[in-house]
Copies of this chain bind each other. A is one copy, B any other.
Amino acid sequence: MNIGEAAQGSGVTAKMIRYYESIGLLPGVKRNQNGYRAYDAQDVHRLRFVRRARDFGFSMDQIETLLGLWAQKRPSQEVKALALAHVRELDEKIEHLTELRNTLKHLASCCHGDARPECPILEDLSGRKA
């Protein structure tokens, strides 16, 4: 299977497949006589794994670790720890964004929203309170 088919089958663009290979995230695959990369079902499976992990927001480093754990059939302990660490990261991001959102929404609710030039949002941004 050529790279295009592998890309379509995995949802990872050919461009990114080559990139992942170049940074060592994925092993180099066999080449045909013409130099084309040759993928098999197992390779596509691994690509889909990476794709899913990216969708989950795992970092490339984390994905590298997950791939290793997956390939080596290592204890689920480590995987669980990694997943929970990522959950904590997500929690932090969510909390941060929620704070921003609430502050901004509060400012907006204080804003007349009419044609008057006074605007609590701009006043806050300009540092009157900061």
Contact = CB atoms under 8 A, between A and B. Distances in A.
Query: This chain: how many copies in the complex?
Result: 2
B49 A121 contact: no
Interface residues of A, number: 51
Nearest to A51: B127
Interface in A98-130: 98, 100-101, 103-105, 107-108, 111-119, 121-122, 124-127, 130
Contacts of A57: 97, 100
Given A83-B121, A98-B94, A56 B103 contact: yes
21 contacts: A48-B127, A49-B125, A52-B127, A52-B130, A69-B119, A70-B122, A70-B126, A73-B117, A75-B115, A75-B117, A77-B113, A80-B111, A80-B112, A83-B107, A83-B108, A83-B111, A83-B121, A90-B97, A90-B101, A91-B101, A94-B94
Interface of A: 45, 48-49, 52-53, 56-57, 66, 69-70, 73-77, 79-81, 83-84, 86-87, 90-91, 93-94, 97-98, 100-101, 103-105, 107-108, 111-119, 121-122, 124-127, 130
